[in-house]
Amino acid sequence: MNIDGVYELIIIGGGPAGVTASVYAARKQIDFLLLAGDIGGQAAWSGDIENYTGYQFVTGTELTLKFEEHLRKYKFPIKETEKVINIFKEANIITVKTGKGEYLSKTLIIASGKRSLELNVPGEKELKNRGVAYCATCDGPLFSGKDVAVIGGGNSALDAALQFTKIARKVYMINNTPVLGGDKVMRDKLKEAANVSIINGAKVEKILGEKVVSGIVINKNGVSENISVQGIFVEIGLIPNSEFAGILEKNRLSEIKVNNSCETNISGIFAAGDVTDVPEKQIIIAAGDGAKATLSAFKFLMRN
């Protein structure tokens, strides 16, 4: 950090976008700080990844380890436990406020990603981490040989259900639309699995259990049904981690608006990856955005 206590760049987020932005910043010898809630982001939640260039097949855990290995080759400050709560800009200095302090910088890249949406049904909050979970990769092994329900019908739900075909005794896939979405190759694999029951057009009414999950109540065609499960994995979508960025322009989904150079509406502030309005949320797209954001920040620093 410079003598005046101001970094040239601060990067928020440790997922594919934040990691790639950091690697590019290190190679450009930019004086920067990485504020990473965790390394890997949503990539760490993924099961089998078959569309990341250079790997015909890799798990989310393996790819995350590769990200971290690459990141640790460079010497720069990383803070992994500080949650960003606000950002603001005065004159040419950007202030990033966390739960533990404030950091000053000339430029900022926001790569804070997204987090899981919740069902908001009775029993969910009470049984969170006691059978209700939002990451099959993280918590799936705890339910080996048990019956589980996966809620959702998109790629994240399909990925979770496919992971459970190898772990759980029985997998109920509960989807509130008439048919499953997601990639056809994933749908086909799921339909071939002997221990999967797909229930389309059903909504979750309630999660059952005293100290731990014991079941779930669903409603299909106006009829309620109790299903006995020990684990419930919610995969109904994601919401951007953008609440702290109140000074930036966002779309109706709370995604930060950027142009093709990852610039936001505030000069010197850039955004990359799933927290932005860039179409198609993919690991490789987020990584590419991270590279672009750092290159744009570097050009900004050179001009100013």
Query: Active-site residues: which are they?
Result: 135, 138-139
Please tell me the distance from the alpha carbon of residue 40 to that of residue 46, in angstroms, as a whole number. 10
Give the N- to C-terminal CA distance of the chain in Å, as an integer: 18
Cβ 231 vs Cβ 127: under 8 Å: no
Please tell me the distance from the alpha carbon of residue 32 to that of residue 274, in angstroms, as a whole number. 22
- For residue 177, give both structure tokens: 């639309």
Find all residues with CB under 8 Å of 68, minimum gap 6, and list them: 19, 39, 40
In 3D space, the residue among 105, 81, 41, 109 whose CA is nearest the CA of residue 258 turns out to be: 109
